[in-house]
Chain A
Amino acid sequence: GDSVTQMEGPVTLSEEAFLTINCTYTATGYPSLFWYVQYPGEGLQLLLKATKADDKGSNKGFEATYRKETTSFHLEKGSVQVSDSAVYFCALTPNTGGFKTIFGAGTRLFVKA
């Protein structure tokens, strides 16, 4: 079945460091891909998305490119801030008739000042 695998955390970085959180997926066809973020004490919110191969989603300095050939959607940011500390979830929605979203286990990011 469809699934999402993302790198285990926690990831600890110093402020202004480069961030990569790896995400790979298994799905039939061309799913839509998402990164959601959960800040401490808050609900899940969409960070960025891409709906077809080679699309790049971007928001708040974060980017991710939909790579069909490697079935990946890695999250990157060039310079992280303390306020980016959160849990990041990679997710997919199959485009095969259903609309449920399948989430990865989440990666916790700590950014130190």
Chain B
Amino acid sequence: GQQLNQSPQSMFIQEGEDVSMNCTSSSIFNTWLWYKQDPGEGPVLLIALYKAGELTSNGRLTAQFGITRKDSFLNISASIPSDVGIYFCAGFPSGGGADGLTFGKGTHLIIQP
């Protein structure tokens, strides 16, 4: 099946720093979604991207749909303690929704005081 390569696997940063993570695939995706998951909870949708080249912001978060449709990145500016958690990229492959969302393995963000 489809696979998404998400990196880095984990990040240890200082409060106030900017964060960047990305996701790549060997095949084309029609939609990219970025989620955040806290322990014991379900993933929460952060940003949705539908067009190649699209750049979308949600507060301190910015995400882009790569022009090749095979990658996406998420940036977080001026990190704060509540940004701690696991961030997942996910996408619908070009064949449509019948294959469901494919998820990356997650980026674990840890903020050091």
A and B interact physically? no
